[in-house]
Amino acid sequence: MASHGISRSEYAAQSRDEHRREKELKKIEEYNQLAGAVQEQRLARRYTLDALEGTTRLLRLNPEYYTIWNYRREILQQTLLVKFPSPEIALSSNSASTRTHLGVDEVDQDPEEVGRSLRAAYDSKATLHLKEELTFLLPLLSSFPKCYWIWNHRRWTLQRATEILPDDKADIFWQEELGLVGLMLRRDVRNFHGWMYRRSVISSIESPRRENVSNDGAENSSPRNTSLVEQEFAYTTKMVQGIGGMSNYSAWHNRSKLIPRLLSERKCGRQERMDFLEDELELLKRNISTNPHDQSLWFYHYWLIYSNTITPDRDAPDAISPFMSRGTKLLMLAAEIDTLQDLLEAHAECKYILKALVEYVGLLQRVRKDPKDPEDDEEDEEWAEDDEKKKREDMRAWLARLISIDSMRKGRYQEILRGLEY
Amino acid sequence: MSSTLLTSKHVTYIQSLDIKRDRLDYHLTSHLRLSGIYWGLTSLHLLNHPTALPRSETIAFVKSCYHPSSGGLGASPGHDPHLLYTLSGIQILATIDALDEIDGGKVVEYVSKLQNPDGSFSGDEWGEVDSRFVYCALSTLSLLGRLGDAPGVSVEGAVGFVLRCLNADGGFGMAPAAESHAGQIFTCVGTLKIAGVFEKSLSEDQVNLLGDWLCERQLPNGGLNGRPEKLEDVCYSWWVLSSMAMIGRLHWIDREKLVEFILSCQDEENGGIADRKGDVADVFHTVFGLAGLSLLGYEGLSEVDPVYCMPREVTNRIVWNRRKTPTS
């Protein structure tokens, strides 16, 4: 019903092949039988290991069947991943079955001692079952890396670890998960589910988690706040420096999201922020000069330039160096424009260089006219007027070239061109 | 390769979808059946064959997906309720003018309960959060005429969440800090349009930046991709193009080349449109291909509403004409 990338001729060949058709009809029958049986058990509210096995088989055939994932969670919550009963219940007489289930039979021991061994036995069983669940999901994720429901179920399983295990034991699960995401992202550096999931694992590790979890007898609930922003920033550096990494739009994007927090956590002052910006621009300059046709680099470059030159109406949490004077901004823009003009000589037909030139000259003019920047100098103004005229002519020439080499987007360029007349 | 729209083939293709029960895909896709009907029905309306699906059976199927206890709709009978399918069900009923067949108040209740304190919406009781679900919620409420007075729903909160999904490249992601993606841009811009706050939410610079990101999605073969450095796919003829239409930048891409690309993805023998030329057609790509062509003003198609992905005539009747000040 929503198929991607399946060849029509291949599909038609399948339909003509009698033998394959027969096999398909058999598969349909088997699938419908299994799906019917699992749905029936759900309606009968059966939460048993047998029913769980049914969901395992069905989800392997069809991981998009979201209702069955819901059913699986309901079963797990009531069987293998049930919460540890509170100490009073665990020790009361009617919990004998729980004890037997956990393999603890020492009825005559000191109640506290019994409580501790019950808890330890519970923890190790729960850990085992959580691991089994994650192991079940791994091959599914590898085969269906774009299936939302599998990622959701994996996140749920880890959250369940947080809910039913003591902090230190749950932490191990989250830490190990980072390793898995790393692996997934190495296989597909652009999988946005993978990146999304990575950010959610990171924020789970970073934030104090116990406050939302109902009291289930877990000790040691002191909240912590461990920032991983340095580690994650280093991860993006590693990603963009890997083979073909500079084309990794996802990594550059994540970098742009991490930097504001990174600088604030480093408690960077003006000079440090300025230095940071210069380092980033230098990194980009190196990459762009070797690969000027890479959109990812240009997106990041534009972000660096724009967010640090234009003072937005609202707060600007984005700017790396928000305290630059008008003069400094103009110098930065002029330097970038010079570099790009040099680059253009070697790559006359590169539309990204031309687009950036048009944008940055536009920014230069805006910064110059910005009344919010208090740095007026007569001499500067005169020079500006001459320069302005020259730059407007340059812009017209660049836009004309853009219209001819990137004609699909000529509507965009013509619009900018018209804006220049006035 | 066809250079014209194969209208009658597409109509037959959509009508035949429900009788392909001898193919495994039919059974493997019951988890999105209700959306499938919405895609088929919308396609037929755009093709000017609005009565090609039997009305009473369509209504009966929607009702069989409804959960009276919660007020939500699932994808098929026996499937759990979810915002994705609740929206599809309401879109179907709205399109065939049958909203009174369902307890709208109860549906509003279902949607309301899924809003989180940060303004976002969960897709269902299991709590997955995604900017897509904010769109599903607001679109559903507005089609039911209950956007302004849904008890417990904060439209302002929803808008706040969507704006936190805005990125430095002008696009929107599935959650705050997530990378821009054309599908997500459609849902976020659509949410702002439905809430009537688009114009005051984004500056001119931001709109231009977004327009630039969107028009860069057109590849040399005329097709559109959903993110930088990705392959073209017919469905982005909707996600990208509808967003461009909503921000008034449709003229920033090459219309002819895109029309040609969509038409080349038609199955000339059996009807339907595929993701790419030569691939198997499906109803999902069929509707988004047709809706894209409609936005591009392709002759013979009804006008589609870029905010709702429904026939304009329907949304005018039940949404826009009822608003004091039209916002789209």
Which string of DSSP letters, residue by residue, matches B66-86?
A: B-TTTS-B-SSTTSPP-HHHH
pLDDT in tens, A197-209: 999 999 999 886 5
Whether residue A352 lies inside any domain: the answer is yes
Q: Is A9 on the interface with B (CB under 8 A)?
A: yes
Containing H/E element for B310?
strand B310-311
**pLDDT tens over chain B, length 328 residues:** 668 999 999 999 999 998 877 888 888 899 999 999 999 999 999 999 999 999 999 999 999 999 999 999 999 999 999 999 999 999 999 999 999 999 999 999 999 999 999 999 999 999 999 999 999 999 999 999 999 999 999 999 999 999 999 999 999 999 999 999 999 999 999 999 999 999 999 999 999 999 999 999 999 999 999 999 899 999 999 999 999 999 999 999 999 999 999 999 999 999 999 999 999 999 999 999 999 999 999 999 999 999 999 999 999 999 999 886 544 4
What pTM value is reported for the model? 0.92
- Residue A373 belongs to some domain of the structure: yes
pLDDT reading at A130 higher than 50: yes
> B305: which strand partners?
B310
B42 in a structural domain: yes
CATH of the domain at B310: 1.50.10.20
The pLDDT score that the predictor gives to residue A217 is 40
Domain that holds residue A314: 271-420
Number of domains in chain B: 1
pLDDT bucket at A105, cuts 50 / 70 / 90:
low
DSSP label at residue B304: E
Q: How far is A104 from chain B (nearest CA, A)?
A: 34
Contact at CB, A196 and B180, closer than 8 angstroms: no
pLDDT one-digit tens code per residue, A221-261: 444 568 999 999 999 999 998 766 778 899 999 999 999 99
pLDDT range class, residue A317, cuts 50, 70, 90: low
Task: Tell me which chain B residues have a C-beta less than 8 angstroms from the C-beta of A2.
Answer: 29, 32, 282-285
Bigger pLDDT: A181 vs A137: A137
Report, as an integer, the average pLDDT of A397-404.
97
- Position A7 confidence tier, pLDDT thresholds 50, 70, 90: confident
C-alpha span between B108 and B112 (Å, rounded) = 6
**How far does Cα A338 stand from its chain's mean position?**
35
Whether A162 maps to a domain, the answer reads: no
Give me chain A's average pLDDT, please. 86
Is residue A161 in a domain?
A: no
Task: Return d(Cα B327, Cα B320) in angstroms, integer.
Answer: 8
* Alpha-carbon dihedral sign for residues A256, A257, A263, A266: negative
Q: Which of B2, B24, B164 to mutate to test the interface with A (most CBs of A within 10 A)?
A: B24
CA distance A182 to chain B (A): 17
What's the burial of A339, exposed, middle or buried (CB within 10 Å: 0-12/13-18/19+)? middle
- What count of other Cβ atoms lies within 10 Å of the Cβ of residue A317? 11
Domain assignment of residue B120, given as a range: 7-322
DSSP code per residue over B231-291:
---TTHHHHHHHHHHHTT-GGGS-HHHHHHHHHHTB-TTT--B-SSTTBPPBHHHHHHHHH
SS3 label, residue B312: helix
**pLDDT grade for A89, boundaries at 50, 70 and 90:** low
B327 is a domain residue: no
Residue B229 has its nearest CB partner, among A296, A303, A307, at: A296
Using the CB atoms, write b or e for A12-34: b if 16+ within 10 Å.
eeeeeeeeeeeebeeebeebeeb
Domain assignment present for A324: yes
Instruction: Identify which of B205, B279, B283 has the shortest CB distance to residue A1.
Output: B283
Residue B16's H or E segment, with its range, is helix B7-16
B200 falls within a domain: yes
What are the percentages of helix, strand and coil residues in chain B, rounded to 5? 50, 5, 45
Is residue B2, in this structure, part of any structural domain at all? no
* CA nearest to B175 within chain A: A196
Asked if residue A288 belongs to a domain, the reply is yes
Q: What is the pLDDT of residue A215?
A: 40
Q: Is residue B37 part of a domain?
A: yes
Closest C-alpha to A190, from B235, B180, B275: B180
A211 domain-assigned: no
The predicted complex's ipTM stands at: 0.95
**Closest C-alpha to A251, from A222, A294, A292:** A294
For residue B171, is it within any domain? yes
Nearest to B253 among A7, A8, A408 (CB): A408
Tally of domains in chain A = 1
Place of tokens 């970073």: A206
pLDDT band for A382, please (50, 70, 90 cuts).
low
User: Does A283 fall in a domain?
Assistant: yes
